Structure 1
Amino acid sequence: MQSTANYLWHTDDLLGQGATASVYKARNKKSGELVAVKVFNTTSYLRPREVQVREFEVLRKLNHQNIIKLFAVEETGGSRQKVLVMEYCSSGSLLSVLESPENAFGLPEDEFLVVLRCVVAGMNHLRENGIVHRDIKPGNIMRLVGEEGQSIYKLTDFGAARELDDDEKFVSVYGTEEYLHPDMYERAVLRKPQQKAFGVTVDLWSIGVTLYHAATGSLPFIPFGGPRRNKEIMYRITTEKPAGAIAGAQRRENGPLEWSYTLPITCQLSLGLQSQLVPILANILEVEQAKCWGFDQFFAETSDILQRVVIHVFSLSQAVLHHVYIHAHNTIAIFQEAVHKQTSVAPQHQEYLFEGHLCVLEPSISAQHIAHTTASSPLTLFSTAIPKGLAFRDPALDVPKFVPKVDLQADYNTAKGVLGAGYQALRLARVLLDGQELMLRGLHWVMEVLQATCRRTLEVVRTSLLYLSSSLGTERSSSVAGTPEIQELKVAAELRSRLRTLAEVLSRCSQNITETQESLSSLSQELVKSRDQVHEDRSIQQIQCCLDKMNFIYKQFKKSRMRPGLGYNEEQIHKLDKMNFSHLAKRLLQVFQEECVQKYQASLVVHGKRMRVVHETRKHLRLVGCSVAACNTEAQGVQESLSKILEELSHQLLQDRAKGAQASPPPTAPYPSPTPKDLLLHMQELCEGMKLLASDLLDNNRIIERLNRVPAAPDV
């Protein structure tokens, strides 16, 4: 046990160790509060006095939630070694988070954004106080879990920090080699004499490497054999990197250098976030300090990302979920352009559903009017794209193999790599299953919209038929039409015949829509069965079960690697564990391939066929709607013409009646015929009826036009 006046710790509770100090978990003697104590060793006292006290002075100057807090500076009782008493972070460092197999391919998007926000805020506080850290790396970013379970990251280890203004330079070399700016790497690691002075932008290079590591789970610059084994190639990669490249690697011994301008496909960050992040990485991972961004631009660009909101958009035709990052004050037009960049669907062809309801987005209004979305409840986008599904790398390609002999360190490393690939398979399996659910749910909503369109169109058709049948079915009208000696009545009869033809066309349209409804109902039943199958899928549980068992063996390997060797019986158990671990990994990957990937690919094929049916149905309904509208328009014209003829006949009968009153009464006919008075009344009734019918047909036409303007379903 060791102690200061107020704090107590055991040397077994080591949290970290460096060249000049060790950090332990300690307790306050009075309150029992957990703290971290940094105890300096004898090597630290060989440094100049001003260097020894620099860390104390820097920490006393800082006060920010994303920078580790300094509580006190004390001394040990016997040796009187300096002790920094600091805030304790129980969840380890960002490096320990990244070292976990779950994060072998980088952090999830939400967690990465937390890291970005915390690092940017902490670094901004340093620059406001004129301090350069000079040793930014995941191991110096501690993680604390807040009261609501959220991660809080804090910059720590200010042993290399010093005050430095933006226009000042320094010549001393500090830092960890994988994260060092190439100019500092040349002198500190390669030991080459050079007289370069360094500015505050060296921290930006370290931040760039750290952010790349957090996003991908690996370092951006990797020579064959690793950064520590091939230092000259490491230096070449960082200094020869082309503008815009964010990573470089040498795949084989003495092989060429390969450059990457995007994050790897295994990265968990969405393409929407990657498109925002990659330009920042490209401009801070710049060797020439004159070309590298300054902190002001770095803070401006990262703050721009952090101030954006994400809108989840599922492209139903492409079967891909997109994350669209925009500002809340942006317009819908800007949102649509952002969607266009990710999906290649032009704004004029974008149609949306949300939770089963049509979303009509006006380009000029604020994007704040878009509903709150999540990955499980996104906007559903219609487009003319071809289904392609999620692009991903097969986790089996990243599975290392055990060496035949017992090598505790190598076995641990292999198990860690295999477990990382297993967790990647689990994540992908969930994404593929969620994709199938979103496909089926989106199609179900489209079916509902199409059915509603059918019902509304059918209602319009039936209303039109009712009016036409009412007009054509009166007996009195037929008696008038049968009077051949009046030419106008012959024309009226022809017009009424045309109305009967139009009524027959509308009847066929009605039958056509009814058949479409039956087809849609059949497809909807298929969707229900498919969704039930997705909900009954147990591949996720099978993969998770394999992972749990593999994780148990991995923890055993982690303990064993710390031992100098194993006894005979322990070695036999270790060999069995290797066999079981390999068997579980093989089973996990088999489930992933056969239960997840194959089913997903089959679902994409079926989805493509269903989308074609949707497209044809939508096109067919539009044609039917146009036919109905055309019939109503023509019927309206016929009714107006018929009404005009009847008005003329009515007027003629009035004149004949006036003349007949002055003349002598005609002889009685053997068979009674309609009197002019009867014809006049009937013509007046028909005229009024025709006007009403024409008005109703005009209303129906307006409804049809609205139906044709409403997006009912996606084109494919």
Structure 2
Amino acid sequence: MSEMTASTPSYLWSLQDVLGQGATACVYKGRNKRSGELVAVKVFNLASYNRTHEVQMREFDMLRKLNHKNIVELFAVEELPSKQKVLVMEFCSGGSLLNLLEQPENAFGLAEPEFLTVLQCVVQGMNHLRENGVVHRDIKPGNIMRQTGEDARSIYKLTDFGAARELEDDEKFISIYGTEEYLHPDMYERVMLRKPQQKSYGVSVDLWSVGVTFYHTATGSLPFMPFRGPRKDKQTMYKITTEKPAGAICGLQRVANGPIEWSTYLPDSCQLSQGLQMHLVPVLAGILEADQERCWAFEQFFTATTDILQRQPVHLFALQQAMAHCIYIHHYSTVSVFFEEVAMQTGIDVQHQQLLYLGHELPLEGSMKVVNLPHTTAARPLILLSHRTETNHSLPVREPETPIMPAKFDVIADYNFTKIVVGVVHQYQRIVQLLHLHRELLLEGYYSYMMVLRRACGEAMDNIARISIRLKSCLTLQHRIFTLGHHASENLGAVDKNDRLQQVTEHLPGYTAGIQEFQNRLDHLQIEQAKLAEMLPSDKSCQKMQMLLQKIVAIHQLYHKDRLLGKLLYNDEQIHKFEKIHLSTHLKRVKSLIRENCMEKYRDLLDTARTWSRILLEMQIHMQDFNSFSTGLLADLEMSEQHQNKALDRILVTLQPSGAGQQHEEIELRDKELMLSRMYHLKEEMEILGQELQSSNSIIESLEAVHSAVAVRPSMARPATL
């Protein structure tokens, strides 16, 4: 066997294929000698044998006891020729969660879908530990392995149970294990500050570590940071964790010996939606509690996190606010509850909300279940309209801070600088993509809004036509009733409304002109929208940012090689310096692209959108007023026709044949029968028309109220009035 390889009876591995290394062991990538299956082989070093035999065997016993998809599986315990025991475990091809977080694209935390996968896997793995009475005592991203499933989705698994032990919820322990950044403050005080104490520790120490891990996963940073770093300023690190105010989830010292800035929110650079943060932050605040008595119990932690994982995300875009939202809600909740959640996150009251999907109004009943809502994504959300004036924000994200470039030549400092810069430029790239997506959503949303109003204008014109037909019929019927009533010498109250109906008829052309003017305005707005939409595909900002990112990554890779070499030859040093100049140029172009191109175009569109919003909202209010008026007017016509029909019945009774001469009676009877036939026919026609109307106030009351209300409101479609 080569000196670079090692083996047991069933497995072999290369000593160069190191997957991870700790204080007591090293993990290698190995293979099954028979099947060739990849495995992870944990080989213990000499320091591990200084531990008691019970402690040495504890990890073996723990892994044998545990069996869960979110716990790394133990395949075998074998021995080297030296009698050293090795653990043969499941190989996770994705490395650790820490490896993932150290990738530059994740410098500001994982994307929301991946974070939720981490949350689900860790919660389920921790739940399995508690069901078996196990406390891990070293939860951290480096001890959470990543496997890729057949569907290409990540599966995260807890590993490294060298510090684990059996412990029930009410039991305590006094031994110290863990990694200092993720260590509970009570344990940190004893092991890192060397302060003697008589404290014992319970299962809640795992929750503290989980809280730090989740914060790190969501933001790419540790929650508690002294100015010089947690390992260089341990006193301040302990001060931050123990003096943290209730509800705070982050403490940051920005200057040496400066004050601690506390926060109860995740940073703006975090990729998680506000909807998810709203549910996650209380969990972090509950488990990042130094006082073990005040810290959440595991039962409360599992209840809260399970509730998050059972919620369904519904994406929506508040058009007038120009803000994207993600509502996390249970699938079995009603739409009424959903509207309340929307109101809470957007500030738009339920009565002012209107939802569109794929360009059409989305009719929803309050008793419907959320599971029946259409499927949404960030790129295809529900469009939320507000029936009141809203303020749109200038930008959906903030520009990240870029560190100062080292002035002097230093391969280590330059490498560290480019490592940070690559992460920052990845964040710039996300901002460019997000601004581009928001421009698409704004243009699509306002087009849908315009189409909704165009359809409303069409319906209004239909209503005017219906009103015109019915008014004409009413006027004709009233004229005949008045004539017959005069012959019958009967004073009928229904006939004195002829002038009032005529007044309505005279105002209808004005309403028609107003609707037509709205349609003309919509034509102009849609032309303007189409021109802006046509320009969007020609915007190559995303592609330009991608090219700049590739150039900066290439410089970072060169600097990585230079750091490994340490001391450079003259020519290599000159190349290093030239690339530093290029890096400075690239960074200027990155900032110029996002500030002078992307942000400027976005602000211009926001200004245009504000104008569109004002015009369309005014149209919508007028249309709502007219719809209310036309509905009431049609109902009034029905009531008027009912009165007319009653008057007609009374007239027909008075026109029955009298006892005059037979010939005269026969002529008069034929004339009256003909008149009766016509009257009954007309009555039947009016009854058929009346079936389409609804009952309301009188015509004169409706006309006067609406006409006076519209007359005082400034109309966009002058000189017509709606």
Deviations 1:91-141 (A, max 9, x none): 211111111111111111100000011111111111222211111111111
Query: Does the 8 A contact of 2:638 with 2:693 survive in 1?
Result: no
Q: Which moved more, 1:12-21 or 1:148-157?
A: 12-21
| Structure 1 pair 697–615 and aligned structure 2 pair: CA distance change class (3 A) | farther
Alpha-carbon distance in 2 for matches of 1:350, 1:616: 16
The residue aligned with 1:69 is: 73
| Structure 1 pair 273–548 and aligned structure 2 pair: CA distance change class (3 A) | same
The residue aligned with 1:711 is: none
Query: Does the 8 A contact of 2:315 with 2:382 survive in 1?
Result: yes
| Structure 1 pair 81–392 and aligned structure 2 pair: CA distance change class (3 A) | farther
Query: Does the 8 A contact of 1:506 with 1:631 survive in 2?
Result: no
Task: Give 1:81's match in structure 2, choosing from 79, 84, 89.
Answer: 84
The residue aligned with 1:710 is: none
Shift of 1:481: 5.0
User: In structure 2, the residue corresponding to 1:259 is in which secondary structure?
Assistant: strand
Q: Which moved more, 1:205-214 or 1:52-61?
A: 52-61
Matched, 1:404 2:396: no
| Structure 1 pair 597–22 and aligned structure 2 pair: CA distance change class (3 A) | same
Query: Does the 8 A contact of 1:11 with 1:24 survive in 2?
Result: yes
Deviations 1:519-571 (A, max 9, x none): 22332232222222223321111111111121122122223222222111111
Query: Does the 8 A contact of 1:114 with 1:151 survive in 2?
Result: yes
Deviations 1:389-430 (A, max 9, x none): 3755533x4111221222222112211211111111111222
The residue aligned with 1:186 is: 189
The residue aligned with 1:142 is: 145
Alpha-carbon distance in 2 for matches of 1:44, 1:234: 29
The residue aligned with 1:197 is: 200
The residue aligned with 1:450 is: 453
Shift of 1:460: 2.7
Alpha-carbon distance in 1 for matches of 2:35, 2:655: 113
| Structure 1 pair 688–497 and aligned structure 2 pair: CA distance change class (3 A) | farther
The residue aligned with 1:671 is: none
Q: Which moved more, 1:242-251 or 1:576-585?
A: 576-585
Query: Does the 8 A contact of 2:481 with 2:495 survive in 1?
Result: no
Alpha-carbon distance in 2 for matches of 1:163, 1:22: 24
Deviations 1:460-514 (A, max 9, x none): 321332344466679x978995998876699988654544433332333233323
The residue aligned with 2:708 is: none
Matches within 5 A, 1:307-322: 307-322=310-325
Alpha-carbon distance in 2 for matches of 1:390, 1:698: 52
Query: Does the 8 A contact of 1:509 with 1:628 survive in 2?
Result: no
| Structure 1 pair 491–571 and aligned structure 2 pair: CA distance change class (3 A) | same
Alpha-carbon distance in 2 for matches of 1:175, 1:85: 23
**What letter matches 1:661 in structure 2?**
G
Shift of 1:517: 2.2
User: In structure 1, the residue corresponding to 2:379 is in which secondary structure?
Assistant: coil
Task: Give 2:520's match in structure 1, choosing from 513, 518, 521.
Answer: 518
The residue aligned with 2:720 is: none
Matched, 1:699 2:703: no
Deviations 1:229-264 (A, max 9, x none): 111000000011111111111111111122111111
Deviations 1:565-585 (A, max 9, x none): 211111111112222122112
Alpha-carbon distance in 2 for matches of 1:697, 1:508: 25
Query: Does the 8 A contact of 1:136 with 1:203 survive in 2?
Result: yes
Alpha-carbon distance in 2 for matches of 1:277, 1:471: 65
| Structure 1 pair 385–139 and aligned structure 2 pair: CA distance change class (3 A) | farther
Alpha-carbon distance in 1 for matches of 2:329, 2:473: 57
The residue aligned with 1:217 is: 220
The residue aligned with 1:661 is: 661
User: In structure 2, the residue corresponding to 1:14 is in which secondary structure?
Assistant: strand
**What letter matches 1:576 in structure 2?**
F
Matches within 5 A, 1:374-523: 374-383=377-386, 384=388, 386-389=390-393, 392=396, 394-395=398-399, 397-469=400-472, 495-523=497-525
Q: Which moved more, 1:128-137 or 1:444-453?
A: 444-453
The residue aligned with 2:710 is: none
Matched, 1:689 2:691: no
Task: Give 2:277's match in structure 1, choosing from 233, 253, 274.
Answer: 274
**What letter matches 1:430 in structure 2?**
Q
Matched, 1:533 2:535: yes
Alpha-carbon distance in 2 for matches of 1:492, 1:301: 68
**What letter matches 1:568 in structure 2?**
Y
Query: Does the 8 A contact of 1:640 with 1:690 survive in 2?
Result: no
**What letter matches 1:685 in structure 2?**
R
| Structure 1 pair 478–275 and aligned structure 2 pair: CA distance change class (3 A) | closer
Deviations 1:188-234 (A, max 9, x none): 11111111111111111111000000011100000111111111000
The residue aligned with 1:713 is: none
Q: How many residues align?
A: 691
Task: Give 1:586's match in structure 2, choosing from 581, 585, 588.
Answer: 588
Deviations 1:306-356 (A, max 9, x none): 111111122122121111111112222222222122112222332212222
The residue aligned with 1:47 is: 51
Alpha-carbon distance in 2 for matches of 1:629, 1:436: 38
Alpha-carbon distance in 2 for matches of 1:634, 1:365: 34
The residue aligned with 2:616 is: 614
Deviations 1:6-41 (A, max 9, x none): 322222222221121111222223322222212211
Shift of 1:675: 7.0
**What letter matches 1:388 in structure 2?**
N
| Structure 1 pair 28–689 and aligned structure 2 pair: CA distance change class (3 A) | same
TM-score, normalised with respect to structure 2: 0.89
| Structure 1 pair 251–245 and aligned structure 2 pair: CA distance change class (3 A) | same
Structure 2 gap segments, 5+ residues each: 698-722
Alpha-carbon distance in 2 for matches of 1:181, 1:457: 67
Deviations 1:649-698 (A, max 9, x none): 4444435xx25437999xxxxxxxx9785466336524642553365256
Alpha-carbon distance in 2 for matches of 1:181, 1:645: 90
The residue aligned with 1:177 is: 180
Alpha-carbon distance in 1 for matches of 2:391, 2:439: 12
**What letter matches 1:439 in structure 2?**
L
User: In structure 1, the residue corresponding to 2:123 is in which secondary structure?
Assistant: helix
Matches within 5 A, 1:159-170: 159-170=162-173
| Structure 1 pair 15–559 and aligned structure 2 pair: CA distance change class (3 A) | farther
Identity %: 47
Query: Does the 8 A contact of 1:546 with 1:584 survive in 2?
Result: yes
Q: Which moved more, 1:684-693 or 1:576-585?
A: 684-693
**What letter matches 1:560 in structure 2?**
D
The residue aligned with 1:544 is: 546
| Structure 1 pair 686–180 and aligned structure 2 pair: CA distance change class (3 A) | same
| Structure 1 pair 678–96 and aligned structure 2 pair: CA distance change class (3 A) | same
**What letter matches 1:580 in structure 2?**
H
**What letter matches 2:623 in structure 1?**
L
The residue aligned with 1:668 is: none
Query: Does the 8 A contact of 2:638 with 2:694 survive in 1?
Result: no
Alpha-carbon distance in 2 for matches of 1:690, 1:518: 40
Alpha-carbon distance in 2 for matches of 1:385, 1:24: 62
**What letter matches 2:32 in structure 1?**
N
Q: Which moved more, 1:641-650 or 1:126-135?
A: 641-650
Alpha-carbon distance in 2 for matches of 1:195, 1:281: 27
Matched, 1:337 2:340: yes
Alpha-carbon distance in 2 for matches of 1:387, 1:498: 44
Deviations 1:288-308 (A, max 9, x none): 111111212111111111111
Deviations 1:265-302 (A, max 9, x none): 11111111111111111111111111111212111111
Query: Does the 8 A contact of 2:639 with 2:695 survive in 1?
Result: no
Alpha-carbon distance in 2 for matches of 1:377, 1:141: 33
TM-score, normalised with respect to structure 1: 0.90
**What letter matches 2:193 in structure 1?**
L
Matches within 5 A, 1:103-114: 103-114=106-117
